[in-house]
Amino acid sequence: MKILRTVEELRQWSRALRCQPGHTIGLVPTMGALHAGHGSLIRAARAVCQHVAVSIFVNPTQFGPNEDYARYPRSFDADCALAAAEGAEAVFAPSVEEMYPTGAATFVEVEGLGSRLDGASRPGHFRGVATVVAKLFLAAEADKAFFGQKDAAQVALLRRMAADLRFATEIVVCPIVREADGLAMSSRNAYLSPAERAQALVLSRALRHVEELAAHGERRASVLVEAARAVFAGEPAVRIDYIAVADWATLLPVETAAPGTLFAVAAHVGATRLIDNAILN
Ligand code: PAF
Task: Report the distance separating Cα 200 and Cα 89, nearest Å.
Answer: 35
Q: What is the pLDDT of residue 145?
A: 99
Strand order in the sheet with 144-148: 2-4, 90-92, 51-56, 25-30, 144-148, 170-174
Q: Considering the entire predicted model, what is its pTM? A: 0.98
Can you list the residues of the chain whose pLDDT is less than 70?
none
pLDDT at 130: 99
The answer to whether 142 and 27 are in contact (CB under 8 A) is yes
- Residue 149 is predicted with a pLDDT of 98
The 3-class secondary structure across 163-215, one letter per residue, is: HHCCCCCEEEEECCCECCCCCECCHHHHHCCHHHHHHCHHHHHHHHHHHHHHH
Task: Looking at the structure, tell me whether residues 192 and 168 fall in a common domain.
Answer: no
CATH of the domain at 102: 3.40.50.620
Distance 129 CA to ligand 1 centre (A): 6
Domain closes at, from 141, 174, 207: 174
Report the separation in Å between the CA atom of 30 and the middle of ligand 1, taken as the mean of its atom positions: 5
Where in the sequence is the domain holding 203, given as residue range(s)? Answer: 187-276
Give domain status of residue 263, yes or no.
Answer: yes
Count how many domains the chain has.
2
Contact assessment for residue 153 and residue 251, using Cβ atoms and an 8 Å cutoff? yes
Ligand 1 within 6 A of 119 CB?
no
Please answer whether residues 280 and 211 qualify as being in contact, where contact means their C-beta atoms are separated by less than 8 angstroms. yes
Whether the CB of 129 sits within 6 Å of ligand 1: yes
